[in-house]
Structure 1
Amino acid sequence: MDCKVIEQILTEALTIDEVHVTSDGSHYKVVAVGECFDGMSKVKQQQTIYAPLNDHIASGELHALTIKTFTPTQWKREKLFNM
């Protein structure tokens, strides 16, 4: 599955500021940034990302998914620490 397609699915389904998807063969990594994650547990944040992708996961088209979610404030801090 193409990374841009995953980004488009998530952008259309969720109110998020940024989404970045990379792949290494069949393993995908999603980094999503949005205020919608504020106050959510990590489990709920991951469920929020999984929901729009569920059909693709169930079909086997998409598997081995790593998810990292951030609020915009957390994302700024993350980028600052990883520079």
Structure 2
Amino acid sequence: MAMPAAEIERLILAAFPDARVEIKDLAGDGDHYSATVVSSAFRGKSRVQQHQMVYGALKGQMGGALHALALQTAAAPE
């Protein structure tokens, strides 16, 4: 079962209300997405920590309803 891009965005924004989120469906199948997430919550965090935070926001959907997510994160400027 595929996960709509809007649901991915909703979950990320629920965890990071100030985030700028851009989701792209890479294969047109609802299973392979890229996401760019920019949030002040990422300040002082390593890239790995930032990605872990986003995966946590997806509440266990990775590998299930969401098959693949190419993730780019950055801290929002102050």
Distance 1:67 1:40 in 2: 15
In terms of fraction of residues, the more helix-rich structure is 1
Distance 1:69 1:16 in 2: 13
User: In the alignment, what sits opposite 1:70?
Assistant: 74
User: In the alignment, what sits opposite 2:35?
Assistant: 30
RMSD: 1.5
In terms of fraction of residues, the more strand-rich structure is 2
Please give the TM-score of this superposition, normalised by the length of structure 2: 0.80
User: In the alignment, what sits opposite 1:17?
Assistant: 19
Identity of aligned residues (%): 31
Kept after mapping to 2: 8 A contact 1:19/1:31: yes
Kept after mapping to 1: 8 A contact 2:42/2:76: no
Letter in 1 for 2:42: F
Q: Give the paired residue count.
A: 72
Letter in 1 for 2:68: A
Distance 1:20 1:35 in 2: 16
Letter in 2 for 1:9: L
Is the radius of gyration larger for structure 1 or structure 2? 1
Kept after mapping to 2: 8 A contact 1:28/1:65: yes
Equivalent position SS for 1:51: helix
Distance 1:55 1:15 in 2: 19
